[in-house]
Amino acid sequence: MGAGPAGIYAADILAKSDAESWSNLTEQFSGVSIDLLEKLPAPYGLIRYGVAPDHPRIKQIVHALQRVLERPEIRFLGNVNYGADLTLDDLRRHYDVAIFATGAEKDRSLDIPGIGLDGSYGAADFVSWYDGHPDVPRDWPLVANSVAVLGVGNVALDVARILAKTADELLSTEIPDNVYRGLKGSPVTDVHVFGRRGPAQAKFTPLELRELDHSPNVEVIVHPEDIEFDQGSLRAIERSNQVRQVVKTLQDWAIRDPGARPRRLHLHFLHRPVAILGDGVVTGLRTERMELDGTGDVKGTGAFHEWPVQAVYRAVGYLSSHLAELPFDHAAGVVPNEAGRVLDGAEQVDRTYVTGWIKRGPVGLIGHTKGDALETVNSILADLPNITPAPEPNPDRVTELLVERGIEYTTLEGWNRLDTHELKLGLAANRERVKVVSREEMIAISSEAADRSTRISSN
Q: CA-CA distance, 175 to 166, in Å (whole number)?
A: 13
| Residue 416, Cβ density class (10 Å: 0-12 exposed, 13-18 middle, ≥19 buried) | middle
CATH of domain 106-318: 3.50.50.60
247-290 pLDDT, tens digit each = 999 999 999 998 899 999 999 999 999 999 999 999 999 999 99
41-60 pLDDT, tens digit each = 999 998 999 989 988 777 77
Domain ranges of the chain: 5-105+320-409, 106-318
**Beta carbons of 90 and 392 less than 8 angstroms apart:** no
**Beta carbons of 354 and 376 less than 8 angstroms apart:** yes
* Cα distances (angstroms) measured from residue 278 to each of 110, 199, 313, 445: 17, 29, 15, 45
pTM, 2 dp: 0.90
Find out if CATH 1.10.10.10 is the number for domain 5-105+320-409: no
Report the pLDDT averaged over residues 120-132.
Answer: 96
**Domains 5-105+320-409 and 106-318 are alike in CATH topology:** no
Beta bridge partners of 277: 284
* Cα distances (angstroms) measured from residue 260 to each of 19, 220, 380: 62, 11, 58
Helix segments in 111-229, DSSP class H: 123-130, 154-164, 167-170, 177-184, 206-211
298-356 pLDDT, tens digit each = 999 999 999 999 999 999 988 889 999 999 999 889 999 999 999 999 999 999 999 99
Per-residue model confidence (pLDDT) at position 282 = 98
Percent helix, strand and coil across the chain, each to the nearest 5:
40, 20, 40
